[in-house]
A and B are shown apart, each in its own frame.
Chain A
Amino acid sequence: MVLGIDVGASATKGILLNQDRQVVSFYVRDSGVDFKQAAEDTRMNCMSTAGIAEDDIKYTIASGYGRRSVSFADDIKTEISCHARGGYFHHPKACTIVDIGGQDSKVIRVDDAGKPISFKMNRKCAAGTGAFLVETAARLSIHLEQMEGLARGAQKEIELGSFCTVFTKTEILARISEGACAEDIARGVFGSVIKRIIEMDPLTGDVVMTGGVIAHNPFLGEMFEKKLNRKLFVPEKPQFAGALGAALFALEQSGG
């Protein structure tokens, strides 16, 4: 058995895979401020759900922002490679993988063998990431979890044009003062995330979406499909794509 662990900026995800590349157990929790603890806790939970001992894990690969904090990992891989691997596992064709994470967004193009051809990360701004949703939810005085329901129930999408998260919050203030409702603003916020992604890459061919933002906000995926005017491929557990990719690398490196 092998373990893939993705210590992201917001959440830590773990996946145990058996030799047949089947998921044995998985676990997710907030990364918090102690990445080591988050990783250890994730490992323990994956093990206890699977009913296995530490020695049963042949190889572990850590990924994500906190990858270097995972002292029990045998190797590390970037979240870019892991999301490419995990995304391709779900959709084994030449495709573009879009990962919207808590702190950054990535667009990775892979060929029909799953090899990354190119990748881009968002620049030094929260726009187009989960952090942007956190900031705007706070501005709207709602819990992050309410954003999806509000956006879905909107009558229209408020246009939010700024690149910058702070400027967008100012724009939201202006719309509030004009009498816009929270639902329409929430849909506008989702629209802003989508615009930032579309600006990163032409998104040619099949598009696979991974990451926590799409996992918690499926309506954002539906809006994305409408903007692109074609179907998106979203794995069953999009938030775990990075951890799955790490586990697949672990299986490969352990000779499995």
Chain B
Amino acid sequence: MAEETKVKRKRIAATGMMKKIMADYFYEMDKAVKAGAPKVAWCTSVGPAELLRAMGFLVHFPENHGAMLGATRTANDYIPLANAIGYSPDICSYLTSDVGAYLKGETPLSKAYPGIENVPKPDVLVFNTNQCRDVQDWFGWYSREFKVPIMGINTHRGVREVTKSHIDSVARQIASLVPGLEEISGNKFDLERLQETVDLSLECSQLWRQVLETAANIPSPFTFFDGTIHMGPAVVLRGTKTAVDYYKALLAELNDRVDKGVAAVEGERYRLYWEGMPIWGRLRDLSEFFAHLKASVLASTYCNSWIFDAFDPKEPFGSMAKAYTLLFIVRSDEEKEKYIEDMVTKFKLDGIVFHDSKTCPNNTNSRYGMPERLRESLDVNTVTIFGDLNDLRCYSEEQSKTNIEAFIEQLERK
């Protein structure tokens, strides 16, 4: 009885299609680097990917690579190498693991995609500080290393109401990237092409939203843990038809699950929200642990961060600026709380799991009393797990699991 029973995760059939898409994406970029064309841009996760794609770049997302380092549990092999050259263990562990992997000359891409030896060498690095200041430092390091240009957008933070002045300033910054990108890519800016890309990004985003919202059904056909895997195309291929086609297929499969009453977590008893970064190296373990407790972690701020309702092909620069500024991570605590309150209602949630991610203060919302305030205003239970996105030295397995188990016991007695 005291032994934990392993729970088998339900496989999503579209996973095969996603793996192929991701493989094609990385091989295409590898081929381009080897051939010298098309040019490759590195972009932060919510950087101006639409503009880069419309300018003819293939786009690499180092945060995606960072997540791979975490998920393959290799990050801790590399973080110390970055620490040793002056990048503190207290800063973003995506940065430290990614830079460390580069210093060691290794990448999980080589194992996943035979023939790929390195991350694709950039021709330009383009950041948006909406994620954090660390992305700028991260790209700055590579800019010096590869001797390639770095450019970017400095965003507003703690935004309460998104105003015209916020949007105009970001839109101007995006537009100001064009001349430099024209020079590096050798392509002339084409407004129509940008509009098409923004339109495809909007469609991808709308489908991704529908995918995530299938989890509002009882039982939920989809979990946060599934989302962290299946968001791949929305992150790296938004603005392409490939991503749109993928989410059509995934949505159809999940709607079929809904019609048939198929639960992602067998015997779903509790419905939970995940607030904060994933703990990439413990995704499977935590997914199985929650499932064993019959708790479905089915919605999250993290997966929602790739929903951009504001994209408008008629106003590509302004709408990109608006979409990037409406982002949860750059909003004030009041706005964030309203957002989570809506999630709790929409997804009929019993509790919220906050992840206090040691090296990611920007994506951690448990440090300024938010769990306590939400517990009060929503009469919802909350628990905080102390860990990290990539650095497993910051994560205590036993303590975290005891907290989660006690949280479920608390829900049982409610």
A binds B: yes
- A residues with a Cβ closer than 8 A to B are 62, 65, 67-71, 73-81, 104, 115-116, 118-119, 121, 123-124
Within 8 Å CB of B145, what residues of A? none
Whether A71 pairs with B2 at a CB distance below 8 angstroms is: yes
Q: Can you report 20 A-B residue pairs in the complex whose CB atoms are below 8 A from each other?
A: A68-B3, A69-B2, A71-B2, A71-B3, A73-B2, A75-B2, A76-B2, A77-B409, A78-B402, A78-B405, A78-B409, A80-B406, A115-B413, A115-B414, A116-B406, A119-B406, A119-B410, A121-B399, A123-B386, A124-B386
Q: For chain B, residues 290 to 326, give those with C-beta under 8 angstroms from any C-beta of chain A.
A: none
Q: Does B183 contact A (CB under 8 A)?
A: no
Given the known interface contacts A80-B402, A104-B399, A124-B399, the answer about A116 and B410 at a Cβ–Cβ threshold of 8 Å is yes
Q: Does B85 contact A (CB under 8 A)?
A: no
What residue of chain B has the Cβ atom nearest to residue A70's Cβ? B2
Query: What 4 A-B pairs are tightest by C-beta distance, nearest first?
Result: A80-B406, A78-B406, A81-B409, A73-B2
Whether A62 pairs with B2 at a CB distance below 8 angstroms is: yes
Within 8 Å CB of A104, what residues of B? 399
Q: DSSP class of A's interface residues: helix, strand, loop or mixed?
A: mixed
What residue of chain B has the Cβ atom nearest to residue A106's Cβ? B406
Whether A79 pairs with B2 at a CB distance below 8 angstroms is: no
What residue of chain B has the Cβ atom nearest to residue A68's Cβ? B2
A61 vs B5: C-alpha distance when bound (angstroms): 17
What residue of chain A has the Cβ atom nearest to residue B394's Cβ? A124
Q: Does B375 contact A (CB under 8 A)?
A: yes
Within 8 Å CB of B381, what residues of A? 118
Besides A68-B3, A119-B410, 13 new A-B residue pairs in contact (Cβ under 8 A), listed by A number: A65-B398, A65-B402, A68-B2, A68-B4, A76-B2, A78-B406, A79-B402, A80-B409, A104-B399, A118-B381, A121-B399, A121-B403, A124-B399
Q: Does B396 contact A (CB under 8 A)?
A: yes
Q: Does B1 contact A (CB under 8 A)?
A: yes
The one of B2, B396, B402, B414 that contacts A124, using a Cβ cutoff of 8 Å: B396
A210 CB to closest chain B CB, in angstroms? 15
The one of A67, A115, A116 that contacts B2, using a Cβ cutoff of 8 Å: A67
A4 CB to closest chain B CB, in angstroms? 14
Q: How many pairs of residues, A versus B, come closer than 8 Å at their CB atoms?
A: 53
A19 CB to closest chain B CB, in angstroms? 22
Given the known interface contacts A80-B406, A119-B410, A123-B386, the answer about A75 and B1 at a Cβ–Cβ threshold of 8 Å is yes
What residue of chain A has the Cβ atom nearest to residue B411's Cβ? A116
Whether B402 pairs with A73 at a CB distance below 8 angstroms is: no
A67 vs B3: C-alpha distance when bound (angstroms): 9
B300 CB to closest chain A CB, in angstroms? 22
Within 8 Å CB of B382, what residues of A? 118
Within 8 Å CB of B409, what residues of A? 77-78, 80-81, 116
Whether A76 pairs with B1 at a CB distance below 8 angstroms is: yes
Q: For chain B, residues 1 to 60, give those with C-beta under 8 angstroms from any C-beta of chain A.
A: 1-4
What residue of chain A has the Cβ atom nearest to residue B414's Cβ? A115
What residue of chain B has the Cβ atom nearest to residue A76's Cβ? B2
Within 8 Å CB of A79, what residues of B? 402
The one of A70, A118, A123 that contacts B375, using a Cβ cutoff of 8 Å: A118
A67 vs B406: C-alpha distance when bound (angstroms): 13
A132 vs B3: C-alpha distance when bound (angstroms): 31
A115 vs B412: C-alpha distance when bound (angstroms): 10
Within 8 Å CB of A71, what residues of B? 2-3
Within 8 Å CB of A118, what residues of B? 375, 381-382
Within 8 Å CB of B410, what residues of A? 81, 115-116, 119
Flag B383-414 by CB within 8 Å of A: 1 or 0 each.
00010000000101011001101100110011
B374 CB to closest chain A CB, in angstroms? 12
A240 vs B395: C-alpha distance when bound (angstroms): 29
Within 8 Å CB of A68, what residues of B? 2-4
What residue of chain A has the Cβ atom nearest to residue B407's Cβ? A119
Within 8 Å CB of B3, what residues of A? 68, 71
Whether B402 pairs with A121 at a CB distance below 8 angstroms is: yes
Within 8 Å CB of B398, what residues of A? 65
What residue of chain B has the Cβ atom nearest to residue A122's Cβ? B399
Within 8 Å CB of B399, what residues of A? 104, 121, 124
What residue of chain B has the Cβ atom nearest to residue A120's Cβ? B384
What residue of chain A has the Cβ atom nearest to residue B402's Cβ? A78
What residue of chain B has the Cβ atom nearest to residue A113's Cβ? B413
What residue of chain A has the Cβ atom nearest to residue B381's Cβ? A118
Most buried by A among B4, B382, B402, B406: B406
A77 vs B2: C-alpha distance when bound (angstroms): 10
What residue of chain A has the Cβ atom nearest to residue B393's Cβ? A124
The one of A62, A75, A116 that contacts B413, using a Cβ cutoff of 8 Å: A116
A70 vs B2: C-alpha distance when bound (angstroms): 6
A119 vs B403: C-alpha distance when bound (angstroms): 9
Flag B250-274 by CB within 8 Å of A: 1 or 0 each.
0000000000000000000000000
A138 CB to closest chain B CB, in angstroms? 23
The one of B1, B4, B394, B396 that contacts A74, using a Cβ cutoff of 8 Å: B1
Within 8 Å CB of B414, what residues of A? 115
A76 vs B2: C-alpha distance when bound (angstroms): 6
A79 vs B405: C-alpha distance when bound (angstroms): 10
Within 8 Å CB of A115, what residues of B? 410, 413-414
